[in-house]
Structure formats: structure tokens, C-alpha cells
Structure 1
């Protein structure tokens, strides 16, 4: 019995009693060798890789993945290079408030982050209720002073027949700068000429602005009078205004002057080939300001152009294009108007089917590359019936070059005019003021 007890209680790790003493014990498994340290890429190479990421959203995700990546992306020099290589995506549009792009628009995450980080109530402005948005560009918003009775964001924004105070602000950094008033000696040249309208807007950023100083900007103010148009320019680099010799309108018919006075179409600017353009609706004419020469010109439009659905686009060297959005077709007109032809060539017209839905369309905003479209589906019972139901009103970004249509926002509110807001995610947006 004792022998049986000894055998049962024997430790399983001990060799049996009559095992050969010379038999070696099994060795424990050796631990795996430590991984070889991976060589890190130099910052210069990482910078070149990040510059080649396809979108700003990809760069934002990469910059948040680790501290070393963020260190490469953070400098302003890198952001200037990235902005020069990548166009800013459309994040939404601005009216009396900001309307961020909604899902499934690809910019929806960045737009939501911007809406959360920025102050689009503009509470940081002095007397916030006394300003109306006039233009948006490069993350900046231009406001003009309005009376409380007019309210901010009314139809075609604020208008004025006199010089008004201006403010440029950055809603993300909550910074603003007051623009000094136009000097009296410059303003006197138009104040006694039947001043009809004072329209300020941003000048496009030059290549020097993009590469060197992201906080600099320029303003253009078009002053419409009874018999002339004047231009005033402001540069934030020097903080001063200068005027451009005015151009008479003596060659215009009384009907065109009346259209200018009524601001028919003048609330929506277009930009192409270095020119700001205003469609004179119902007049079949186009007012153009060449900002390189600071000269105005007026050209005839094709007959029966529909101003509300008409966009001015670039159509090749020295060629201007008109894109007219119909119900099921796109009518495209082109005309050589600069240099060799002197603007005498007739409009060339082509029609193409477009992939746009069967909507009632209206252009309510534009910049160099995108149109802001308002669309109402013709399938709604609201059309052609006595129904009191309000239809969904959809707002789209329409890329002119690719004819790509992307829905941004849906509401019941019908806006007549708004400003496209383009920019980068907050992490990639240094202060612009």
C-alpha cells in the first residue's frame, strides 16, 4: 500500500524512479527575438507623401494618427504648399447662417467639424446684428453695415446707395478686422454722380498670396452711378484704398441703365478669365469687369437667355461660355471675346443631355469652379395643384468642369441667394486674419 501511495503522489514533473539519470530534461521554449527597430521616414519624405494625398480629409486623418505626422503637417509652409496643389472642397453655403454639407456629401464630416468649431452666429463681431454678409472667400466673410430695420441676410443681401462700413472676419479663429473707410477725396468722385449701389467683394487670391502670406486679402468695390461705374480697391498688405478711373455708360440704352438701376441680376456675380461678370436679366447683356486691366465692358448675350439658370464659365483661351440649365438639357454657348476677334464673333450654340434630375432649377450662387443650385422636384404634388404642402427644397454643388452634381442640404426654406463656403477641415485651417 505504501508503494502505491508513493506512486500516486509523485509529482508529474519528476522523472520516474528507475529513469536513466543521464536522460536530459526537456528545455523550455526560447522567447522570440525582439523585433528589429523600423527606420522612420525623414520629415522631408513624409511631407512629399502627405502633399500627394488626394483630399484634405485624408490629410486630416493622417495628421491625427500620430504626433510625428502632426508635426509635419502643422507648419504654415506645409499648408501653403498643400493649398496651392489642392482646391478647397465645398463645405456648405452661407446666408444669414451657415448651412453645412449633409451626408452623403463627401464633405459632410469636415463641414460638421467646421460648424462645431466656428462661430457662424458671428457673436464676436461688434454689434453682430448690424452686419450683412456680402461675400465669402478663402475662409473669410465680408460684411457690410446695415440698419436694424433692413436685417441681416434679406433678399440680395444688403444694398446701399452710399459708402458703408466694412468688416472682414474669420469665423473659425473668431478674428475680425475693420476696413478703413474710403477716403473723402476718393469718394467725392462718385458721391455727386447719382450713386445707385455700392457693392464690395473679395478679389481672388494671387499666387503670391497663396505662397507667401495666407492672411493677406484684397477687396474690390464696384460703385454704380447714373452715368458711370467706378471701382475702388483695398489691399490688406498696405491697409489703403485706391481708385480706378471710372468708365462711362453713355453708349448704353436707357433700358440698360434702368436695368442697372434695378440691379437686375447684379446680385449674383460670376467669375471667368480674370473677369467678374453680372448678367443683366431681361436685357440680354453682360457687364464685365476685367480685374487685370480694371476695365468694364458690355457684351450682348444670346437672345432669350434665362438669367436665373445662366452661369458664366471659361470655355477655352480667350473664350467665354454661357451654361444655361434647362429642364432636361444643358445649353452651352461660347464666344471668343478677347484679343484676336475683338468680341465680334457670333455665339456658338450646342445642346447636350444632362444627368440632372427632373427639377425646377435656379442658380443662387457661384464661384470660379462651382455653382450653387436650388432645385425643387417637379414630381411634388405642390406643382400644378392647390396643395398647401411645402416641397423639399434641395441645394446642390455643381462642379462646372466635370458636370458633377452633389446634394448638400435639404430644407423647407427657399433661398434666393447665398454664398458658397469652401475651405479645409479645422485642423488644416490656420487663421486667415
Structure 2
């Protein structure tokens, strides 16, 4: 038997020292391969880019770098629709405390909030990353940055009996896929009655922002006036931009079914009239101008459940004429509950042959080339639907 001292010593376990091999960092993918992976993240789901940028400082620097942003835009082409603005008929508008205007609806996780001081303003136009708002004044609002710019007042233009306005980038050579800052143009086209001549007179004024070398942020002198029939007015929808010309839809008070097109050329600073291809009466909200994918002027018209599409092409003798491009049976394409109810066209996406159609089942976005569609919003009575197109590049 061992002595007590030996037993006590044997109850303690022996000390074992384990030596771990030196750790090596997990190898990271080269930046070129990471970029290739990130390029395939869908632009209409910008939350994926945001989550990836939060993963590490390396990824954040890569995704926010100028090289990747440029490659991402080149890879995906046209910017996606991140949301839309809409306006309501005057009689359908609720009090501002419960139904403020203008309304902005995000179609992705992108969240834009209209500043409180602009909520009484109506959306006039949205293009090249900017929104043009109007109440008693004109404002430019940038949904990407949240910044707004008040434009110089012009009582003569603002008090016109009928008017339309547009905003567009003024940077020469810009591809307009990521522009939301820098100099911009605002075009204000307005109609007044000439009591002496008994006609309606159209004029246009242009403002260039302060950052442009061609202007100090003041309205230029109006262009030469154009005589119209005395009951004409400009439809309360954004114009469409074809190359360097804006096109506004014209209606008439005495015969609202008549349709015309008022063109303003930015290069020549002049107005002209274009006949519409429609024959016979056109019901309210059944026709809309389009900037077609081939850079031609288009017009879509819906009658009952049939949508007709025309485009204005330049012929061999340099004479422009309308050509019917497509006839689409919306009754076989969209879910429609009451086929006797008139359909309406609310707006378009410039350069994509896409229209917004409202039915008794909801508001739908339709590409007239592929005939692919998706439901955009519930059924509602909108005057106009104005898409906000941009890459999420904050």
C-alpha cells in the first residue's frame, strides 16, 4: 500500500499541453470575381446591394466605387423603376391631412420620402432622376438624395389658363442612366387666350439651373407664339421626350374627344403642331403619348378591350407619317372582371414600349413588345401615373 502522500499526489491529473498550428486567413475572392457576382444582382431589388455593402468594408468600398457603378449600369442598360408618383382627380382628393399630395409609391425596398413642405404639390414630370412639383411655385425634388430646389417664380407663366412642364438633364453627352445631380432644364409650355384675335396662343419658356454656364437660374424669354384653336388645353400629364423635343397632348374644352400634339423643340426653341393618327371620338384617358424604344413618337389608344399602337416614322422623302404598329386584345391578356367597363391608359415608360393600364381588377404594367405584364397597384382612380426610373446609387 502506498503512503498517504503518494496517494494524494496521484489524484491530480497530469498537465497536458496542446500546441495549435498557426492560423491562416480565409482566402478572399479577387475583386474582379466579386464584381462579376455583384453585377448579377437585380437593379429593381436594390436591397441586395445594400445588404452586400454592409457585409465588410471591402465590399462597401467595391460597391460604392465609381468603376463598379459604371459597370453595373452598362451591364443592366436602362435604369429600373424604383417607384412611381400619381395624381388624383380634384374631386377625388381627400383632405391633405389624411391624403397628402403628391403620392409616391415605392415598387422596391427603396424608400423615398417627400419633404413635408412639398406634400401639397402636384407632380408635373419625372425624368433623369428628378421630380418636378408644382403648387403655387415649382420645385425640383431628388428622391435619391432627398434634396429639393425652389425655382425662381414667374407670375406670367404660373397664371396661364393651361400649362404643362418638364424637367430634363442639361449635361451634354450624358446617357441619363445615373444622372440626378448637376445642371437641368425646366420647360414650361402654356396657353393663353388672345382676346383681340379670338384664338388660343401657345408659348414656351425655359429655365436653366444655376450650375449651367448658359444661365443664372432665370427664365429665358418665351419663344415665338403659336396660334391654336380657341378651346385648346394641355392635358394634365407629363410630356414625352423624343431626342431633343418635348411632346404634349392637347385636348379641347368643347369637344374633349379631339386629340392633338404640341411639340416644343429645344434646339430651335419653337413650337409646332402634330396631327394625331386617331379617327373618330376618343374617350377620356383612352389615349397616351409614348417615347418608343426605337426613339420614335408613339401613341397608344384603347377602345373597349383593344389597344392600338401607332408610331410616327420618317419616310424616304423625309416626311413623317403615322404607322400602326400593333393591335393587342387586352381581354385575353389581362384579368378583367367586367369587360363592359372602359379601360384607361395612365402613363408610359420612356424608351421601353411600356404602358400603364387600369382595369376593374387593378393597374397593370404592360410591355407591348413582349406582352409581359405585372400588376402594379390596386384599383384606384388616378389621373396620371409617373414612373421614377433610376439606379440605386447612393
CA RMSD of aligned residues (A): 4.0
- What SS class does the counterpart of residue 325 from structure 1 fall into? strand
Distance (whole Å) between structure 1 residues aligned to residue 295 and residue 385 of structure 2: 29
Aligned residue pairs: how many?
A: 336
Which residue of the other structure, out of 190, 208, 214, is the alignment partner of 1:234?
A: 208
State the Cα deviation string for residues 251-290 of structure 1 (Å, max 9, x = none). x4x3xx4123xx3x35342334443222324224222223
The residue aligned with 2:359 is: 375
State the Cα deviation string for residues 284-306 of structure 1 (Å, max 9, x = none). 42222233444332222221363
The residue aligned with 2:271 is: 296
- What SS class does the counterpart of residue 241 from structure 1 fall into? coil
The residue aligned with 1:408 is: 376
The residue aligned with 1:98 is: 103
Structure having the higher Rg = 1
In the TM superposition, what are the counterparts of 1:140-159 in structure 2 within 5 Å?
140-146=130-136
For the pair 1:353 / 2:335, whether they are aligned, the reply is no
For the pair 1:419 / 2:380, whether they are aligned, the reply is no
Provide closer, same or farther for how the CA distance between residues 60 and 340 of structure 1 changes in structure 2, counting only shifts above 3 A: farther
In the TM superposition, what are the counterparts of 1:187-206 in structure 2 within 5 Å?
195-204=160-169
How does the TM-score come out when normalised to structure 1? 0.63
Is this contact kept in 2: 1:201–1:221, CA < 8 A? yes
* Residue 363 of structure 1: how far off its partner (Å): 1.8
Higher helix content, 1 or 2: 1
- What SS class does the counterpart of residue 343 from structure 2 fall into? strand
The residue aligned with 2:6 is: none
Is this contact kept in 2: 1:89–1:422, CA < 8 A? yes
Is this contact kept in 1: 2:240–2:289, CA < 8 A? yes
The residue aligned with 2:241 is: 271
Distance (whole Å) between structure 2 residues aligned to residue 274 and residue 85 of structure 1: 26
Runs of 4+ with deviation above 6 angstroms = 30-36
Higher strand content, 1 or 2: 2
- What SS class does the counterpart of residue 376 from structure 2 fall into? strand
Provide closer, same or farther for how the CA distance between residues 290 and 44 of structure 1 changes in structure 2, counting only shifts above 3 A: farther
Gaps of 5+ in 1: 1-29, 102-106, 147-164, 378-393
Is this contact kept in 1: 2:310–2:322, CA < 8 A? no
Is this contact kept in 2: 1:276–1:288, CA < 8 A? yes
Which residue of the other structure, out of 345, 353, 356, is the alignment partner of 1:363?
A: 345
Provide closer, same or farther for how the CA distance between residues 418 and 205 of structure 1 changes in structure 2, counting only shifts above 3 A: farther
Is this contact kept in 1: 2:122–2:135, CA < 8 A? yes
Which residue of the other structure, out of 132, 145, 149, is the alignment partner of 1:177?
A: 149
Which residue of the other structure, out of 278, 302, 313, is the alignment partner of 2:290?
A: 313
Provide closer, same or farther for how the CA distance between residues 241 and 41 of structure 1 changes in structure 2, counting only shifts above 3 A: farther
Distance (whole Å) between structure 2 residues aligned to residue 286 and residue 298 of structure 1: 6
The residue aligned with 2:186 is: 219
- What SS class does the counterpart of residue 72 from structure 1 fall into? helix
